[in-house]
Structure 1
């Protein structure tokens, strides 16, 4: 094992440490199972010595040995079962903790981590890589302990019977280590590469399946298949090499077995002819020769699985050890939010070399409705991300009611906002659970009231089970209906500050008019930010800020901006120009 593998193994052992009692049980069970297994050849050898020569069959002693033999086999089997049980339990507990740590990490890393990594690759790590670790651990612990103890125990038993033949076996042992080392060294690199390509393939599949309509609309099917085939071919080539090296395990170790068995057989036969070794002892030695080399076969096979497990563990730890969001442990947990917002000289960029928002200033009074408009890529959504602290500003200051948002816990800050995005997000569960997502102690009456305010109640009542209808992953309701449920979710929580990012983009015009009235009611007395491309939806806003290239280039109400005849006026007239 190289240095990197050792480091990964140490990290893995930290997850095993809380369950070391199971490790102790595995060790004890392996020891007792092997001891009673190794008694069998001696008992059989003694029985053979009692039947050598005409008229020399000692039936009483043979029956006595057979009784011991049956008891030894039974006890060995019991401890073998207990070792497998404990190994399975240890693996399950360890893998469960590992998967929980990896999944929990997704809630601790900055949003940038999720945005910059393939979602399919992350899913593959949580599911397949941890399954690979599970397989490696399960096979490893049940065979590694028994294998090592078998090797040591067999040598001790052989030394007890005839030290000279045992010395011959010891001399041939390095050959087994050489074969195992050669195979494991080459297998690890191939297994690691295979895990990485498998993650890349999972990410691509997730991307394609999630955007199948777009692919079909643009006739991208053949190119998608070609890209998939390229990645799949790389996986095949890497998998073939990995399987080739791992397939060397069996013939390589069998060759070593044959050499050891032949050496013991020849030397033992000579010793038996010379009278220094009985026929029964020779039989025992030949059995031990088989048992001595068998663990090397198993350990070599385990090593192949273990290499794959370490490669997968390396990918998992790259997630677990990712940098967390900046801690907010000692920050404010409660604020009396009225909704006044001051933004002073803030700057931000996703990539340092590409500036996005520079020296941005804005004052929003309590209860104001602020609309944000501008061309695609001007920084509208980024501004919302900064308000919610999904990303942290590079410089400057954002204050809510005079308190810097970096002085509040993120949870406390986000509780002050209600957010409806263009992309509706619902989980697989009942409509009631989805609306009550932000207020889990909500009553049915509150949920119904919120649904009525969002004009969702009528379509919900027409569903087979009303508010108990389960929303499936593919969606058994329309995109517009999903959006209404997201709006109802905000209607229920009634936060002091609202963010509506193209909130009515998937809703028909007639329903949108009703929703706008509901929003007006909801926004009364609340600070609101409205991001919209359809300018007809923001004419009633108190302030409209026009953004371009991360800067505010115009600011005022609808009438004032039209009178200026600037960017907003041109943008508005382009939407309502008569052709």
Structure 2
């Protein structure tokens, strides 16, 4: 094994060891119970051999051994029942341990995710999180509930069988174990062959994945331009290459594995026992009846040994799952002060003080940003794509914290405000619409569960979505995704109504009307202008005509504030904002439904 492989294996062991630490004692007890139980269930085999020997002696010598035979039968049956009980007890202990660790892991992961930055979720695939929380923990079930007891049974059966055979005759025991030694040698050869081929196979798999993504992603262009032949050719070449690599990798592996399994087939083991038995009888080392225990016991090792090999092979899947769960549990969380040091803001003005932020790869997104959101004013953030507008909004919402500087609400650092309280002070409507699988009413009242029906309807009227909700099959009781099929603009207006219902003193709108049509956008803008009275409002906008009446406009460029002022002031500067305005105004006039106020 290479050094890198050894590091990976050691890392897996540490990962799975940390996951299973709370139930390690229970799993050990379960494995021991299963091992002893498996040993006891094999006692009848030795009893059968003993009875056969005594019956032969009884017949040959005319001695009555009926009482002894019945004692052996009783001991064998007693051992069998005791073994079954112990194996069952081991399974019960393992399943109780599994239930305990599953509950612990799901609780720990949920508690951890409740404390991670909200920005982490935007960078993670929901499928990856679901896999770790649900699928990987389900995979660990097979490890905790079944793996240790199965290994215990297999090792117990193998150990008691080997000890029993050596106790009878060490020479015959060594001869009987020769097929199993051959199995291990062939297995090692198969593993080396497989390891040598995996790199090439993984590379081919990467090629076929890339070809598949390219083929599917470009299917429209392929059909439109009649290039199906070339597209199909690339895909077929990747598939054929993977097939050739797969055959090259599996042929020697299958051959070695076939030889290994042939070595421990019961008929092979039985043949070896008989051959060496006859040889030892001719040499005068053993009596003919002494072969019988080996004939009964040796083939019984085959199934546990193959089971042990399968279990150890499947362990890699469980260790990978454990690593993913552990990684999720170690996700960095937002810094927070102890609950005893939580503070309440004295007012609702928001200050950014020399805020800087960069990604983990060293790319700076924001640099030395300072400004204030005053109650009753609208501050618009504009700039080209990638300038840092949305990052700025998400920092106010504590999706992540600044690398340098700090943000305060009413003079209190956001880190010193309890998270649940923070989102009662700061409402938001983002580009990415987030609705839960529940009724429209429940979605609207998500941040304000005690809201009355009248309050909910007032909020939806402001957001210009009330009439659309009434048109749904069950009105406000319609369920999102079932009988409430809404367009992107309608879903966004629901989010706006939810923010209005929360009635926060600070409101963040990140392209909040991006999915609305021109008519609805104008209505929503007017409603939000009325709703914003007395509040600190931050608006992230791409279409500058929607924010030209803002009290202040900040122009971001390369993560810095390049210009600031009112709309007329910035136009007079004839700088970056003026360029953006001319470009945006031209695009608006070219559209089929230009907004009111555009200078076309």
Deviations 1:484-525 (A, max 9, x none): 111111112111111111111222333333322331232111
Moved more, 57-66 or 284-293: 57-66
1:451 to 460, 473, 477: 460
CA offset at residue 86 of structure 1? Answer: 4.7
Aligned to 2:594: none
Structure 2: state its 5+ residue gaps: 587-598
Moved more, 29-38 or 51-60: 51-60
1:518 matches 2:522 = no
Describe the shift of the 1:271–1:575 C-alpha distance in structure 2 as closer, same or farther (beyond 3 A). closer
1:165 matches 2:172 = yes
CA distance in 1, matches of 2:100, 2:204: 28
Aligned to 1:142: 149
Tell me if structure 1 keeps the 8 A contact 2:353–2:369: yes
Structure 1: state its 5+ residue gaps: none
Query: SS of the residue aligned with 1:438?
Result: coil
1:341 matches 2:345 = no
CA offset at residue 145 of structure 1? Answer: 0.7
Tell me if structure 1 keeps the 8 A contact 2:108–2:329: yes
Query: SS of the residue aligned with 2:356?
Result: strand
Describe the shift of the 1:61–1:242 C-alpha distance in structure 2 as closer, same or farther (beyond 3 A). same
Tell me if structure 2 keeps the 8 A contact 1:249–1:297: no
Aligned to 1:16: 20
Aligned to 1:369: 378
2:262 to 233, 240, 254: 254
Tell me if structure 2 keeps the 8 A contact 1:188–1:304: no
Tell me if structure 2 keeps the 8 A contact 1:418–1:498: yes
Aligned to 1:541: 550
Query: SS of the residue aligned with 2:293?
Result: helix
Query: SS of the residue aligned with 2:445?
Result: helix
Query: SS of the residue aligned with 1:470?
Result: coil
CA distance in 1, matches of 2:68, 2:107: 58
1:509 to 490, 500, 518: 518
Tell me if structure 1 keeps the 8 A contact 2:345–2:409: no
1:491 matches 2:500 = yes
Tell me if structure 1 keeps the 8 A contact 2:186–2:259: no
List aligned pairs for 1:64-463, cutoff 5 A.
73=80, 76-77=83-84, 79-84=86-91, 86-87=93-94, 90-91=97-98, 93-94=100-101, 97-98=104-105, 101=108, 105-110=112-117, 114=121, 120-126=127-133, 129-135=136-142, 140-169=147-176, 175-183=182-190, 241=249, 245=253, 248-249=256-257, 251-256=259-264, 261-272=270-281, 277=286, 279-329=288-338, 332-336=341-345, 338-350=347-359, 354-463=363-472
Aligned to 1:560: 569
Aligned to 2:596: none
Tell me if structure 2 keeps the 8 A contact 1:125–1:199: no
Tell me if structure 1 keeps the 8 A contact 2:204–2:241: no
Tell me if structure 1 keeps the 8 A contact 2:91–2:146: no
CA distance in 2, matches of 1:210, 1:489: 36
Moved more, 375-384 or 548-557: 548-557
CA distance in 1, matches of 2:409, 2:227: 47
Tell me if structure 1 keeps the 8 A contact 2:222–2:231: no
CA distance in 2, matches of 1:76, 1:211: 62
Deviations 1:425-476 (A, max 9, x none): 1122221221122234444444333323323222222212222211128972
CA offset at residue 129 of structure 1? Answer: 4.8
Describe the shift of the 1:120–1:286 C-alpha distance in structure 2 as closer, same or farther (beyond 3 A). same
CA distance in 2, matches of 1:349, 1:2: 35
**What root-mean-square deviation, in Å, do the aligned CA atoms of Structure 1 and Structure 2 show?**
4.7
Tell me if structure 2 keeps the 8 A contact 1:184–1:307: no
Tell me if structure 1 keeps the 8 A contact 2:42–2:80: no
Moved more, 127-136 or 424-433: 127-136
